[in-house]
Chain A
Amino acid sequence: MTPNWKLSLTRAAIFVLILGVVLLPIYWMVAASFKSNAEITQDATLYPHVWTFDNYIRLFSEKEFANYLVNSLVATVVSVVLALIAGSLGAYAIARFHLKYRLERKIGLSLLTLRIVPPVVILIPVYLLMLSLKLLDTWLGLIITYTAFNITFCVWMMESFFREIPVDLEEAAMVDGDSRFTAFRRIALPLAAPGLAATAIFAVIVTFNEFLFALALTATPRAMTMPRGTATLIGRIDTDWASMSAAGVLGALPIVVFALLVQRHLVRGLTMGAVK
């Protein structure tokens, strides 16, 4: 009994420690979002002694955070949907069709290079491309860039999910008169839905939080995303920590809500095919 009690206590202590390490920065950000800048920099209090909602109000009255939020949502949703459509088609083709010398494998791998290369390496070419297309500081410029990145990720993720689905099911459907595309749409895609959800979740999180390309490709509230807009609060001499904290909370909310809603699919998607 005693060893079990000690083990439980140790487990609980480790759990609390890990939870503390993970949650403390989040708590600090939320608490700071309800403090004044003076309280943050001069007093460093553990919790807000004088509660204020001015930081949130300021983001919408003096800054352009409504625009940043809309821009982020549009760029994320449109690029992820486009990437899922194109990516799942590409992944299906790689999973089902075989080329000479197993070229389909090499195509799949070459798509991944876009993910392997550090983004900063292709930042300038992308900037110049968008400049020549007159797509700097537009939704379309961001969407094209994010879609290109997400497609590679979607193909890579979805390919393994499609491989798990027995090809016999599609062949049976085609024997019954389905075209290849209809079999894909009616049989393969629904069966790969948990994988599609998991892919979408990762793509949404990565896209919503993306900063580097948004920094290079946007300049005004017309196209700036949440992470990009939050950076505008850093000044030459002073930084508006209170507003930055409020912006952090607002920026995290959509992703947190989304993750809570779809976490069941995420786990299902990740474990799909793990047990046969």
Chain B
Amino acid sequence: MTATKKTRQGFSRRKVLKGGASLAIGSTLMTSLIRTTPARAAGGKVIIGAFADGGLAPFKNKIIPLAKAEGGFDVEFLEDEYGVTLEKWFADAQNSAGQYDIYLLDDPWVPQFGAAEVLEDLGAAGLDGSDKDWIAPMFDMGYWPPQSGPRVKGFESADPKLICVPFVGDLQTLTYRNDVYGNAPPATWDELIAKGKEGVAAGKIKYPVVFRGVSGGPIIASWSPILLSFGGDYFDDKWNPIFNNEAGKAAADFFVGTMKANSAAGVVEFDSDQEGAAILGGDAGAIIQYSGNAIKSDDPAASKIVGKLDFGVVPKQVKAISQMGIFIAGVPKAAPNKANAIEFLKWYTSGATQAKLAEAGSIPVKRSGFAVEKPGNRLIPVALQQLDAGCLPRPRTPDWSKVEELIGIQLNKALQAGSGGGAAMDVAAGQVKDYLTQAGYYK
């Protein structure tokens, strides 16, 4: 019994070997765990955070290798889900976590980052704001507070700073069936509907138009070009809602009445996947959409009707204005490789690189980019036409997502009913006014 006890408690070769092995495994594991901590600084390293979007594919595939070859930049491109990036990046910036050097923001997010003062002043860092080659409406979106238009409380007299620079252009254009509408896009909404009906009668398409009807951001993205082309807008220069004026109500009635009647049966529940499938599958005659989906028109893997889809400026009622929604780059104050990030942005926004971006197939953010002999896709010249015809960003307020939600809910209700768009705008305007009053917009 005693011998057994001694054997158990004393040292043995087996125990020493086991202990040594455990120590080795443990230390190896700890070393590898600690090694996974991200590098805080490195030569030409630039960590770019982006949300997943087809519009960034040319940058990812063509420009990142070019950045290495031409500028020596070692770009780490980190894609994430669209729905979580705003919260994650904002937390990263506010807490100085230093996980990114550049955020590729959706432009409506700029006011939130601007108001929190967590982004570098890129103008002070040397990015040239006086360069006339910038596309002005895109470049203006990088300033906080805005250089023109209404400003939110607390920033009325602040000097505008360039906290972001346009990165990849993106805007809504019309995609239409050339076997239904001919070689020229429909110039007006009435023409779009009338010729679309002829296409339905001829059996070429199932319905003239398709759009997103889901409440919130999707329905507003589809309605905005109609509101703008009917001569409406969201706010006056004192943040009073004006989307329920005569033009706004006419646009809403047209949207929930005429457009619904000439669209797919379940359009109230349609989001981008369903509207994309409707146009690329050959069911719809026309759609207004952003470039990420539009460029799929020529992809045989995505479209059943390659060759039958063309691009054009959006139809007009009063004007031919669409919505702009660009990718815009900001550098967090806590960026681990800040100097590299700024040098990268200088290189990337140069005329020469923008030309290469256009050749790769993305909409450039400088006019010289549009002048390339062979743009990467045939949407790019149409995007310039749309920019010249008119293209407006979403209102520049950190509260836009809430406003969008309030209008979207009422518009979706009217769309379900198939009528009452104007009345829905009155309700939404009241709700928006109440919300902004509580937020101190009118004090």
- Count of chain B residues with Cβ under 8 Å from any Cβ of A? 49
Known: A177-B1, A220-B78, A236-B82. A134 touches B37 (CB 8 A): yes
Instruction: Collect the chain A residues with CB atoms within 8 Å of residue B293's CB.
Output: 237-238
Cα A128 to Cα B92 in complex, Å, equals 11
CB-contacts of A170-203 with B (<8 A): 176-178, 182
Is B92 a contact of A38 with CB atoms below 8 Å?
no
Chain B's nearest CB lies how many Å from the CB of A64?
9
Inside 8 A of B106's CB, which chain A residues have their CB?
236
CB neighbours of A232 from chain B (8 A): 52, 79-81
A139 and B36 CA atoms in complex are apart in Å by 7
CB distance from B265 to the nearest CB of A (A): 15
Evaluate whether A237 and B81 lie within 8 angstroms (CB atoms) in the complex, with A42-B304, A139-B36, A219-B88 already known.
Answer: no
Chain B: CB-nearest residue to A78: B29
Known: A231-B81, A235-B53, A238-B276. A136 touches B281 (CB 8 A): no
A42 touching B38, Cβ below 8 Å = no
Contacts of B2 in A (CB 8 A): 177
Q: Does A37 have its Cβ within 8 Å of any Cβ on chain B?
A: yes
- CB proximity to B under 8 Å, residues A74-116: 78
* Chain A CB within 8 A of B71 CB: no
Q: Which of A37, A176, A216, A237 contacts B272 (CB 8 A)?
A: A237
B223 interface hit (Cβ, 8 Å): no
Taking a contact as CB atoms closer than 8 A, the residue among A37, A139, A219, A222 that contacts B302 in the complex is A37
- Is the beta-carbon distance between A131 and B36 smaller than 8 angstroms? no
Closest chain-B Cβ to A150's Cβ sits at a distance in Å of: 17
Most chain B beta-carbon neighbours within 10 Å: one of A216, A223, A232: A232
**Are A220 and B273 in contact (CB-based, < 8 A)?**
no
Minimum CB–CB distance for B433 against chain A, Å: 29
Is there an interface contact between B81 and A138, defined as CB atoms closer than 8 Å? no
Taking a contact as CB atoms closer than 8 A, the residue among B32, B47, B78, B82 that contacts A234 in the complex is B82
Q: Any chain B CB within 8 A of the CB of A26?
A: no
B97 contacts A238, CB within 8 Å? no
Q: Is B280 on the interface with A (CB-CB < 8 A)?
A: yes
Contact A223 B36, CB 8 Å, known A42-B304, A232-B79? yes
Chain A residues with CB under 8 Å of B17's CB are none
Task: Report which of B53, B84, B97 forms a contact with A131, defined as CB distance below 8 A.
Answer: B97
